[in-house]
Chains A and B, each alone.
Chain A
Amino acid sequence: MGGAAMSAGPQGRSVFSSVSTPVSRRAFVAGAAAVAVNGQTLSRIAYSEPNAPAFLHLAGCSAGNGHVHTYAVTGDRCEFLGSTNIDSFAAYASHPTLPVLYIARDCSQWEHLPRGVIETYRVERSAHPLRLLVQTPMALSATRPRSLAVSSCGQYLLVSASTGKAWNAFVLGSDGIPASVAIARKETGPVLDSQIILSPAPHAVAFSSTGLCAVGTDPSTKRMTLLHPSPDGIAILSRCYAPFGLAELCPAWTCDGRYVVAADAHTASLSLYAIRPRLGDRDRLGIHLHNTAQTKTPIKALLAHATGNGVFTSRGESKGSRLEFWRIRGHQLTVERDAWVPDNILAFEHHAGSLWLVSEDRLIRMRYQDLRAMSAVRVAQSLEGVRAIVTQSYGSNLI
């Protein structure tokens, strides 16, 4: 296995850089060095420019204690900044343009009332990289937040409350601070033909990159819901039943806002949902299941392509993971390219030409265009319990 060179960076902080590795069973991931990442369920990572500076946050819980490790990454260089304790980490989202991180805490009660709480942090390049700006309670009875999403314009923060059976939206100020009072939408369950009443449990939310629409998933009632927040409330534009269920993964919007791809729960498959004006009401968007593509094994991670009309997926295969890029052509999902890595990939994110993948023990950087490995970054801190990753770019004018 190849090793990593270590040098002392500014202020004595450890800075690691990658080196090439000899061919081995991991030769596919050329240049990758083993990294002690004991992650569990990890989610998205994001970078903005190939070598532009970015923050990398690894978040999770261990023995009931939540934590976020923050790094400053520039190209292949990864500098550990510091760790922040986050009690009961549940979900996160980063502001699209500001160095602000939102974290939802997995609570059913906050300050003696049944409600979740969102914490807003300023991200700084310092030994204490996450500075708590404000704690914002969710609506009364909106408990156990599961997912956060920020609109691409930075105007709204959307939250799902699973046991609270509600969506909450917060208007964001120009500084990224959420309004102190949530806008709430309470869900009730549908009645199915078999007269089984399903109890709502809002789970994942994702905003379109082209507007203020968001899609929310509810694996309990098998509903995909198109939401539109405004200061007057959260409107439901349309709903769609997911016949194959909904996996507990965040769905992915295509960059043109015309499709949403979601992993199914009951079968190894991906479902493609079209977003288009509703029949008889052209001013209102609807969501419709278009078709479903079978995969050989269940999808474990899902990510929209930044510019192309498709999604990346990761699924388990032969004691490793199969990475696939699915292109949408003629309203169908088709695998355009794929690669296999000898790792259990738990999450990935893209950054202008790079795809970063996190496995249980490695952090790998790959080329976007052809899914070929580029390098890996060694992380020195113990990442036991890590289950979420978020990154956000920063420039000198933001810090």
Chain B
Amino acid sequence: MDASVDRKDPRYEALVQGHNLRFPESAAVAPARIVICTTSAQVKQVLQDAIHDGVRPTVRSGGHCYENFTVNNPGGVLLDLSLLNAVRRDPATGECCVLPGAVLGDVYQALYKREGVTLPGGTCYSVGAGGHIAGGGFGVLSRLFGLTSDWLSAVDILTVDASGRVTERRIDKKNDADLFRACRGAGTAGFGVITAFYFQQLPLAPREVIQVDLHFPWEAMREDQFVSLLMAYGDYWATRGRDPDTWGLFAILDIGARSNGRLGMYIQFCQADGTAKDLSVLQEFLARFDKFQPASHLRGMGGGSTVKHIGQHSSVELSRMSWLAAATGDRSGSMQERAKYKSAYMKRNFVPAEAQTIYRFYSGNSITSRSSVVAIDSYGGAVNRRGLAEETAIAQRASIMKLQWQCYWSDPSMDAQHLRELDAFYTELYSGKHVDADHQGTPWGDAYEGCYMNYPDADMLRYTYWPELYYGQSGLYPFLQRVKQTYDPNNVFHHAMSVRPL
């Protein structure tokens, strides 16, 4: 029997909140009930009951939604799928099945230990598979293997037909093909409740990886040096980083407040064969940053050995470790805080104006600069393989970097200031000659591919073209609207940024 938790239940307060403590915004907008489902049959029954009662259902797996899409549901029912978390393989077909409540770290462990395979998914251990895979599923191995949703072979999903009847569907390229395509990247955009992901094939997990943690001397860095660093980073992904032999290289340039000394780069490398015997690609990359005199920091996870990279100006220590230790050793990311996120895709290197804007913000003394970072992830590689844009619902297949802004704080009275200052920074960054004149304030133009829906940002709703920011300009959004009309004609599944009905 599923567990139904209402407002009077002592568990309610703990279960109603996800990881972003900004939501629900108040008790009045919180769901009336949270139902913990442990089987797909329970999910179906709870959903049918909600339709019958005329209340709105929302769905949560790991609880990492960046906006209020799951818990802002006044009077509604929240289907909690966190205990629908099995990871299994069909011995007859070899097909792997991941249920939505499984968290990524457990998925990596299960798939690797049993099958030696992995998903090229995200780095946060506690992120739930449901939202992550349905919305794309990007991570450290994505340059090498593509997005997680690129590997999907089938999905189990519950939809609600026009008469209000819940229908179970196993969808794939032959059955409800349009809905299947929508679930490969836009699965959280309001079509139904996904109860299982299937993968006929999955990439072999690397045997070992090299991890590097660099820290740059931010305190003493001048603006021109910072701009040079940023552009050296972007230039690599725009040029050498497009070559397939570099696709095993992944990096995150992490920029925070100068006063916090936060200017670093996390790097992971392996070769396409899953080993890390030949480090020439990595060393070539590290050499680009030698003149900035980074220091290195060993993470100290999961054993392994260290290797030194000695440059002209600096010496860096590299950690060699098993891929499993690298993927699951860090169990941070589970904390609950108040947070705000933004995103942008870049198709080319930074221009000086962008780098200067970032420098000024993080050299300044605003409280938001001290509470936030911008993480500049390497992108491209296998993600940008031809044909994937037409097969999936991820339109961004030409980018070389993906940016994620993250701001964290604990005091609710600071909400308005942090939201305002982060938005102002983002708007300033995307204002100027480098952005299309009619789309100032947003990453729109020849150099950009908009934003990532798995890092949703409700600020973008003020732009009438927000669907194109997230879904591109090649007809994906109208396609999703047609799928919506077919499979959710009553708009049962909706949130602030779901696909709007036709």
- A interface residues, Cβ below 8 angstroms from B: 112-114, 139-141, 164-166, 179-191, 197, 199-200, 232-234, 236
Assess whether B496 is interfacial by the CB under 8 Å rule: yes
In whole Å, how far is B164's beta carbon from the nearest beta carbon of chain A? 3
Main secondary structure of the interface of B (DSSP, over half): loop
Rounded to whole angstroms, the CA-CA distance of A113 and B461 in the bound complex is: 7
Count of A-B contacts judged by CB separation below 8 Å: 76
Contacts of B76 in A (CB 8 A): 184
In this complex, the member of B55, B489, B490 whose beta carbon has the largest number of chain A beta carbons within 10 angstroms is B490
B interface residues, tally (CB under 8 Å)? 27
Within 8 A of A (CB), among B44-83: 51, 53-56, 72, 74-76
- B interface residues, Cβ below 8 angstroms from A: 28-29, 32, 51, 53-56, 72, 74-76, 160-164, 461-462, 489-492, 494-496, 500
| A112 and chain B: residue at smallest CB distance | B461
- Give the residue of A164, A197, A233 whose beta carbon is less than 8 angstroms from that of B75: A233
In this complex, the member of A141, A165, A166, A199 whose beta carbon has the largest number of chain B beta carbons within 10 angstroms is A141
Q: Is A200 a contact partner of B490 (Cβ separation < 8 A)?
A: yes
Contacts of A200 in B (CB 8 A): 490
Q: Is A190 a contact partner of B163 (Cβ separation < 8 A)?
A: yes
Q: Is B496 a contact partner of A188 (Cβ separation < 8 A)?
A: no
25 A-B contact pairs sorted by A residue (CB < 8 Å): A113-B461, A140-B56, A140-B72, A140-B495, A166-B54, A184-B54, A185-B55, A186-B51, A187-B54, A187-B490, A188-B164, A188-B490, A189-B162, A189-B163, A197-B161, A197-B163, A197-B489, A199-B162, A199-B489, A232-B32, A233-B32, A233-B53, A233-B54, A233-B55, A233-B75
Q: Is A139 a contact partner of B74 (Cβ separation < 8 A)?
A: yes
Contacts of A165 in B (CB 8 A): 490-491
Q: Is B160 a contact partner of A188 (Cβ separation < 8 A)?
A: yes
Contacts of A139 in B (CB 8 A): 56, 74
Q: Is B494 a contact partner of A140 (Cβ separation < 8 A)?
A: yes
Q: Is A180 a contact partner of B28 (Cβ separation < 8 A)?
A: yes
Rounded to whole angstroms, the CA-CA distance of A233 and B492 in the bound complex is: 17
In whole Å, how far is A261's beta carbon from the nearest beta carbon of chain B? 26
Rounded to whole angstroms, the CA-CA distance of A249 and B461 in the bound complex is: 36
- Give the residue of A113, A141, A191, A234 whose beta carbon is less than 8 angstroms from that of B54: A234
In whole Å, how far is A236's beta carbon from the nearest beta carbon of chain B? 7
Q: Is A184 a contact partner of B462 (Cβ separation < 8 A)?
A: no
- Asked whether A188 and B75 contact (CB < 8 A) given A141-B491, A233-B53, the answer is no
Rounded to whole angstroms, the CA-CA distance of A188 and B54 in the bound complex is: 8
| A166 and chain B: residue at smallest CB distance | B54
Rounded to whole angstroms, the CA-CA distance of A59 and B51 in the bound complex is: 37
Rounded to whole angstroms, the CA-CA distance of A140 and B25 in the bound complex is: 14
- Give the residue of B51, B72, B163, B462 whose beta carbon is less than 8 angstroms from that of A191: B163
Q: Is B162 a contact partner of A181 (Cβ separation < 8 A)?
A: no
- Asked whether A236 and B54 contact (CB < 8 A) given A183-B75, A189-B162, A190-B163, the answer is yes
Rounded to whole angstroms, the CA-CA distance of A141 and B51 in the bound complex is: 15
Rounded to whole angstroms, the CA-CA distance of A134 and B474 in the bound complex is: 41
Rounded to whole angstroms, the CA-CA distance of A184 and B28 in the bound complex is: 13
Rounded to whole angstroms, the CA-CA distance of A233 and B160 in the bound complex is: 21
Q: Is A181 a contact partner of B29 (Cβ separation < 8 A)?
A: yes
- If A140-B56, A189-B490 are given as contacts, then 11 extra A-B residue pairs at C-beta distance below 8 Å, sorted by A number, are A113-B496, A165-B490, A181-B28, A186-B55, A188-B51, A188-B162, A189-B489, A190-B163, A232-B32, A233-B53, A233-B55
Contacts of A199 in B (CB 8 A): 162, 489-490
Contacts of B489 in A (CB 8 A): 189, 197, 199
Contacts of B495 in A (CB 8 A): 140
Q: Is B163 a contact partner of A186 (Cβ separation < 8 A)?
A: no
- Asked whether A186 and B490 contact (CB < 8 A) given A197-B162, A233-B75, the answer is yes
Contacts of B164 in A (CB 8 A): 188-189
